[in-house]
C-alpha cells in the first residue's frame, strides 16, 4: 500500500514539474548569459551606490538603500538562477503558451493531460489514511486553545 502511494506521488510530481526555459523562443537568451542583463544589473547597483554616498553610513536612509542594493542583487541572481529568458533590452520576458482558445480544453478533453491528472485524485485518501495511522490527522485536546 505504501509503495503504491509513493509511486503515485512521484508520478504526479514528475507530471507537474515545469519544463526548463528554452532559448530558442523569439530570440530570447537565458538571463544569466545575457550581456544586456548583466549591464542592467551593474547600472542598477551603481545608481543605488551613488545614492548611498549622499548619506552618513549608519543613517536610516543609508540602511534602507543598502537593503535595496541587497534586494536588487538577489533579484538579478534569482532571475539568472531560475532560467528566465531575457530580450536584447536585458529585461526578463514572459512566455505565454500561445494557445488561441484554452477554454476548448474544457469541452474537448485532452486525453494525455487527463491521464496524467486523474491519478492525483486517488492520492489524497492514501495521504489522509497515512496521517490517521501516524496520528498527524487530529490534534490532541491539550494542544487546542480555547
Q: What's this model's pTM, rounded to 2 decimal places? A: 0.51
Query: pLDDT tens, 24-76?
Result: 677 889 999 999 999 999 999 999 999 999 999 899 999 999 999 999 999 99
Sign of torsion over alpha carbons 82, 87, 90, 94? negative
pLDDT tens string 100-135: 777 777 788 888 988 998 988 889 899 899 999 998
Q: Which three cell numbers stand for residue 115?
A: 491521464
Whether pLDDT at 8 is above 60: no
Amino acid at each position: 500500500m505504501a509503495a503504491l502511494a509513493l509511486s503515485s506521488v512521484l508520478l504526479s510530481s514528475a507530471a507537474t514539474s515545469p519544463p526548463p526555459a528554452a532559448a530558442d523562443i523569439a530570440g530570447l537568451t537565458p538571463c544569466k548569459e545575457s550581456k544586456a542583463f548583466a549591464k542592467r544589473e551593474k547600472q542598477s547597483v551603481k545608481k543605488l551606490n551613488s545614492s548611498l554616498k549622499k548619506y552618513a553610513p549608519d543613517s536610516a536612509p543609508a540602511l534602507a538603500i543598502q537593503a535595496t542594493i541587497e534586494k536588487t542583487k538577489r533579484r538579478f541572481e534569482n532571475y539568472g538562477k531560475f532560467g528566465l529568458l531575457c530580450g536584447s533590452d536585458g529585461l526578463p520576458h514572459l512566455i505565454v503558451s500561445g494557445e488561441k482558445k484554452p477554454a476548448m480544453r474544457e469541452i474537448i478533453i485532452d486525453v494525455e493531460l487527463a491521464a496524467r491528472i486523474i491519478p492525483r485524485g486517488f492520492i489524497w485518501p492514501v495521504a489522509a489514511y497515512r496521517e490517521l495511522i501516524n496520528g498527524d490527522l487530529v490534534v490532541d485536546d491539550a494542544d487546542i486553545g480555547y
